[in-house]
Amino acid sequence: MSTKTAGTTGTKPGREVFSTRAAFLFAAIGSAVGLGNIWRFPYVAYESGGGAFLIPYLVALLTAGIPLLFLDYALGHRFRGSAPKVFRRIKPWAEPLGWIQVGVAFFITIYYSVIIAWAFMYSWKSIGKVWGDDPDAHFNNDFLQVDATAVTSLDFVWPIAIVLLLVWVGVLAVLALGVDKGIGRTSLIFIPLLAVLFIAIVIYALTLDGAAAGLDAFFTPNWEALGDSSVWIAAYGQIFFSLSVAFGIMLTYASYLKPRSNLSSSALVTAFANSSFEVLAGIGVFATLGFMATQAGVGVGDVVSGGIGLAFVAFPSVISQMPDVVGPIFGVLFFLSLAIAGFTSLMSLLEVVISAVQDKLNLARVPATLGIGGLMAVLSLILFPTTSGLVTLDIMDKFTNNIGIVGVALISIVVLDWIMRRMDEFGLHLNAVSSFKVGTLWRIFVVNVTPIILGMILFNEVRGLLAENYGDYSDIQINVFGWGVIGFIFIASLALTVMPWRGRHSLSGPPGTDFGVTPASRQRTHLPRKASTGDPIATEDARTGAPTTTAVADSPAGHGSTAASAANTDYREE
């Protein structure tokens, strides 16, 4: 039975796959290209040396971003499962690492969705420029109705709640359709559309009065910044957060690839497409800010901002200064681009959680999507379209990104290589299926360079957060939505690990084709060298952990055969 439609009905015959490489690539690019590309990278680059920042950024991309992306692809493709299942197959005691990644994705998903709702609403607001002469006051007071003192509020902002509900309906509908028909086809439409919209924005921005001043501010290098260690840490941090590595997304997407898939070239395309979009966003943003500064008669540095302030305060100010016809069109294009970039990333974040629940509880696609997705939608609707929503979002975003993602990435690398010594195996798997080969240099980058940088980032973040409350928020706000969330993720990961796996799974070693990576003496859980009808393969009962045997169908290429003969061999056992 083909795995192409697996998991979309009440039965669960096998793991779904992307039908084409293009569908996978657009999905991966859609995950990487998100809100941070548009509102974080330009600001970080400007504050970290301008044009000179591109040097540490490129170094970080080559020595950490791409190597980690290779690792995520190898893990997902080789062990063919969600993050918890992948780590469980590597070593049973490593399963909590997978659940920590799922937990990080869980919390990012529930707050990320409300920003997409804001973007859709501001697309409509752009038509009438309803923010008036003070976009800052409109955003905080009229639109969000912010109450910065409340820990949690049930005072809902109903227009936001309604649009947020529609966002959740949309993303759940896409994911209920499955990996290929849902995520793949949506990405094939949305990513080219995003590219067209944003290129149109950049082209128009370059024609604005003052655009040259903005680009000059963005690209003029401050060479002294290269001697500042914080600039290099900022470059590595931008790469980690932007590429969607080390918290289950790329690992999960790679698990949906066919056995014969060119992993390294796909990773290179994804990484450079993401970075190209970031630079394009920087050009568009600073050309626009140059226009804003010229109209206000101030320097570009006086109007530069990042994050939510850039998108929902600075850009509305720019739109208000544009001609009556052009401004609304520019606003619609910008905020629609923001919404699309966010939506494709939201799909990938939610898929990390759904895939893990599917695997653990042996559920089909639709029940898993509606069950866990519905729960997440309810939490999102309770916490974020309220007067305390912005504060909750800001704290949760700070801790899940800067502590959660960085922490689990560091621990995962330490466990996979420093403790398990498995990195050579993953490199061999990459080389068995890829045109671009990895070697000692890749291993050095992943095992030596990346942990040092991650450790420095984590140390600086923890030290800063312990020294004073982030954003001058109250202790209870920080403890509940900051440290409380991190603590909950770790405790929940242990609890979920203890839960038994439902159904029958191969829970040790890679399932299916091994591509000749594992020596014959150690081959226990994948297809034997000359698998034929009725041949048993060693598996493990998910409930008891006891070894069992399962008959497999005829296979033209066992895992002991060459990589070439294994090209079209399906994975037989999940």
pLDDT under 70 in the chain at which residues?
A: 1-13, 505, 508-509, 512-574
In the block, which residue shows the tokens 């493709």? 77
Q: Is the dihedral of CA 36, 37, 43, 45 positive or negative?
A: positive
Contact 98, 86 (CB under 8 A): yes
Q: What is the DSSP string of 51-95?
A: GGGHHHHHHHIIIIIHHHHHHHHHHHHHH-S-HHHHHHHH-GGGH
pLDDT of amino acid 512 = 61
Q: Identify the pLDDT of residue 518.
A: 62
Specify the pLDDT at position 151.
80
Radius of gyration over alpha carbons of the chain, in Å?
Answer: 24
Structure confidence at residue 39 (pLDDT): 87
pLDDT score at 1: 34
- Which pTM does this prediction carry? 0.87
Q: Please report, for the chain, the start and end positions of each structural domain, with discontinuous segments joined by +.
A: 21-498, 507-574
Q: What is the C-alpha to C-alpha distance for residues 148 and 386, in angstroms, rounded to an integer?
A: 11
Q: Which fold has domain 21-498?
A: Amino acid/polyamine transporter I (1.20.1740)
Q: Which residues of 82-104 are buried (b: 16+ CB within 10 A; e: fewer)?
A: bbbbbbbbbeeebbbbbbbbbbb
CA atoms within 13 A of residue 541's CA, in its CB half-sphere: 6
Contact between 376 and 349 under an 8 Å Cβ cutoff? The reply is: no
| Neighbouring C-beta atoms of residue 418, cutoff 10 Å | 11
Say what the pLDDT of residue 88 is: 95
> Residues 6 or more apart from 232 whose CB is under 8 A from it?
56, 59, 60
